[in-house]
A and B are shown apart, each in its own frame.
Chain A
Amino acid sequence: MDTESILTLDGVYAGYGKMTILHGTNFTVPRNAITTVIGPNGAGKSTAFKTIFGMVRANAGRIAFEGADITNLPPRALIERGIVYVPQGRNIFPQLSVRHNLELGGVAAPAQLDLAGRMEQALDRFPVLRRKANQQASTLSGGEQKMLEIARSLLLEPKLMLVDEPSIGLSPLLVSELFSLLNDIKARGVTVLMIEQNAKRALESSDYGIVLELGQTRMFDRADKLLADPRVGQLFLGGTMKTTKGAA
């Protein structure tokens, strides 16, 4: 591979109880790029993210971040190393204000960090959040809630951001905004690893793509090459692709 990698999965086995989802999954994530993981439902995309983030236990294999072993570290330790995770669905605290939701992105902040300053920067970057800063987060629209989650995850200036299905439930216009936001985030030096059901749109705004199937990496290539690949087209981008929702 021609680029430096930030994250590597090496023969990772993981699952729920006796059900193994990841069967020796291998992949590498290039630094300072957007990489999208695509694959059918049940391929293990979300499980891979949860395993990376210490929410699901890896039973075998190794996960390395910037060369250091991070296998089965708890979320707090991963945040301190510069990894954040934005799961699928709604991940806000509905009864806290927008400001207080945002502020909780700094739980793992080192003591000397100027959290108030970071909050101001974040609110500057997301004017809609500043306008509604004192409202209950439950009053935000779906798109605004996703913005809040992303702003919150960026508060500590992470190196790697895992985003699971950020576009679910958003209007096409908002999806475009979201993908351009992810490109801004990349431009600021954050590596983005994303799962998307909306494979074609996601690959168009990504640098790299990973095709995951039955818990194993089938393909890894530049996003434009995957978009042009007939196998990928048939499997995931064509009319036959199933778009049923569900946790994968």
Chain B
Amino acid sequence: MTTDILQLLVSGLATGAIYALVAIGFTLLWQTSQTINFAQGEFVMLPAFYILMAGNLGLPFWAAALIGIAVSVLTLGVLFKLVVVDPMIRHGVMPLVIATIGLAIVLKEGVKEFYSAQAQPFPPLAEATNIAIGGVVFSLQSIVNLAIAIAAVVILQFFLSRTYTGRCMQATAQNPSVARILGIDVDRMILYTFVINAGLVALASILVTPIYLAKFTNGETLGIYAFIAAIIGGFNQVRGAILGGLLLGVLDNLVATYLSTQYRNALPLLILIIVVLVRPQGLLGRVEERTV
């Protein structure tokens, strides 16, 4: 019984860590530029196809993955900011939200139309074997995914808190007008967050796609889960997004096993409703003070 729970916990954490990566990106974009990206799920779906396309050219997986990440940074980071966010945010948060919903549809239908409507196999980082640690059997893939996601979060946190540029980014998120007054290049810091978000979704794509296969609809649930993870954790906190993602992954796994797989999709929404009712700023969030 306890070994079952341990296994479920680890596989839940492994999925949750991927949600967390996506939710962190979501939160960073909101913090620095008030961008609510409803195409975030599609941003996770797409890099896998970049990598498949690079692989179709005959490249080995690692090279295809690097190219996929680079193209993601360029398109989902830099181009997304310049072509979609910058022109729309001038008109307010809502027009941008609508634009990202439109973008999500374009990306989804684009992949379906120009690549394939069929699910494509995607090479996993780890073999589909199990390993036993102290008598408990874990899937190697879960362990590897969890380790990579944790490493990415640690590196990101290190960058944000221990480097001068990282702290300039935090300053931009916490108080953009004062950041500008101190001479911080606010636009550049915002661009960096878009680049980081693109890197995070590309990584999440590499980790998650072997499990679900590469399919144009992959973003639908992922986007919602990341959005909900960001909200229940606290929309304005990176560590909130981590907590929200992990919590969702673990609970999702437990519910699917012990209650019913039919209700697993309802669970995130249920948690969302409870958090919004009981603690609207999120589990770790702060109440936002925004002045006009």
Residues of chain A whose beta carbon lies under 8 Å from any beta carbon of chain B: 53, 55, 75-76, 79-80, 85, 87, 91-96, 100, 103-105, 107-108, 152
Inter-subunit contact B181/A93 (CB<8 Å): no
Q: Out of B164, B177, B182, name the residue touching A105 (CB < 8 Å).
A: B182
Residue B275 lies at the interface, judged by CB distance under 8 Å to chain A:
no
Residue B34 lies at the interface, judged by CB distance under 8 Å to chain A:
no
Question: Which residues of A lie under 8 Å from residue B181 when comparing CB positions?
Answer: 53, 55, 75, 85, 87, 91
Q: How far is the CA of A100 from the CA of B170 in the complex (A)?
A: 11
Inter-subunit contact B178/A103 (CB<8 Å): no
Chain B proximity of A134: nearest CB distance (Å): 13
Contact with A along B142-177 (1 / 0, CB 8 A): 000000000000000000000010011011001101
A86 to chain B: closest residue by CB = B181
Residue B86 lies at the interface, judged by CB distance under 8 Å to chain A:
no
Residue B183 lies at the interface, judged by CB distance under 8 Å to chain A:
yes
Chain A proximity of B31: nearest CB distance (Å): 11
Could you list 10 A-B pairs, sorted by A, with CB under 8 Å?
A: A80-B183, A85-B181, A87-B181, A91-B181, A93-B175, A93-B179, A96-B167, A104-B182, A107-B183, A107-B184
Chain A proximity of B38: nearest CB distance (Å): 27
Known: A95-B174, A103-B167, A108-B182. 5 other contacts (CB 8 A): A75-B182, A76-B185, A93-B171, A104-B167, A104-B182
Inter-subunit contact B174/A104 (CB<8 Å): no
Question: Which residues of B lie under 8 Å from residue A80 when comparing CB positions?
Answer: 183
Inter-subunit contact A93/B185 (CB<8 Å): no
Asked, given contacts A91-B175, A91-B178, A93-B178, whether A76 binds B170 with beta carbons under 8 Å apart, the answer is no
Per the 8 Å Cβ criterion, residues 166-215 of B in contact with A are 167-168, 170-171, 174-175, 177-185
Instruction: Give the size of the chain B interface in residues (CB under 8 angstroms).
Output: 16
Residue of B168, B178, B184, B185 with highest tally of chain A CB at under 10 A = B178
Inter-subunit contact A94/B180 (CB<8 Å): no
Chain A proximity of B218: nearest CB distance (Å): 34
Closest 5 CB pairs of A and B: A108-B183, A76-B183, A107-B183, A93-B174, A91-B178
Q: Out of B174, B183, B184, B185, name the residue touching A96 (CB < 8 Å).
A: B174
Residue of B170, B179, B183 with highest tally of chain A CB at under 10 A = B183
Residue of A80, A91, A103, A104 with highest tally of chain B CB at under 10 A = A104
Chain A proximity of B154: nearest CB distance (Å): 19
Question: Which residues of A lie under 8 Å from residue B171 when comparing CB positions?
Answer: 93, 96, 104
Question: Which residues of B lie under 8 Å from residue A104 when comparing CB positions?
Answer: 167-168, 171, 179, 182, 184
Q: How far is the CA of A107 from the CA of B182 in the complex (A)?
A: 7
A162 to chain B: closest residue by CB = B181
Q: How far is the CA of A181 from the CA of B27 in the complex (A)?
A: 40
Q: How far is the CA of A3 from the CA of B174 in the complex (A)?
A: 41
Question: Which residues of B lie under 8 Å from residue A107 when comparing CB positions?
Answer: 168, 182-184
Q: How far is the CA of A91 from the CA of B181 in the complex (A)?
A: 10
Q: How far is the CA of A96 from the CA of B174 in the complex (A)?
A: 9
Inter-subunit contact B170/A93 (CB<8 Å): yes
Inter-subunit contact B174/A152 (CB<8 Å): no
Inter-subunit contact A75/B180 (CB<8 Å): yes
A115 to chain B: closest residue by CB = B164
Chain B proximity of A111: nearest CB distance (Å): 13
Question: Which residues of A lie under 8 Å from residue B185 when comparing CB positions?
Answer: 76
Q: How far is the CA of A92 from the CA of B174 in the complex (A)?
A: 9
Inter-subunit contact B170/A96 (CB<8 Å): yes
Q: Out of B170, B178, B182, name the residue touching A95 (CB < 8 Å).
A: B170
Chain B proximity of A41: nearest CB distance (Å): 17
Q: How far is the CA of A94 from the CA of B180 in the complex (A)?
A: 16
Q: How far is the CA of A55 from the CA of B175 in the complex (A)?
A: 15
Question: Which residues of B lie under 8 Å from residue A53 when comparing CB positions?
Answer: 181
Asked, given contacts A93-B174, A96-B174, whether A152 binds B182 with beta carbons under 8 Å apart, the answer is yes
Q: How far is the CA of A79 from the CA of B185 in the complex (A)?
A: 13
Q: How far is the CA of A108 from the CA of B184 in the complex (A)?
A: 8
Q: How far is the CA of A53 from the CA of B164 in the complex (A)?
A: 24
Question: Which residues of B lie under 8 Å from residue A103 when comparing CB positions?
Answer: 164, 167
Question: Which residues of A lie under 8 Å from residue B179 when comparing CB positions?
Answer: 93, 104
Question: Which residues of B lie under 8 Å from residue A95 when comparing CB positions?
Answer: 170, 174
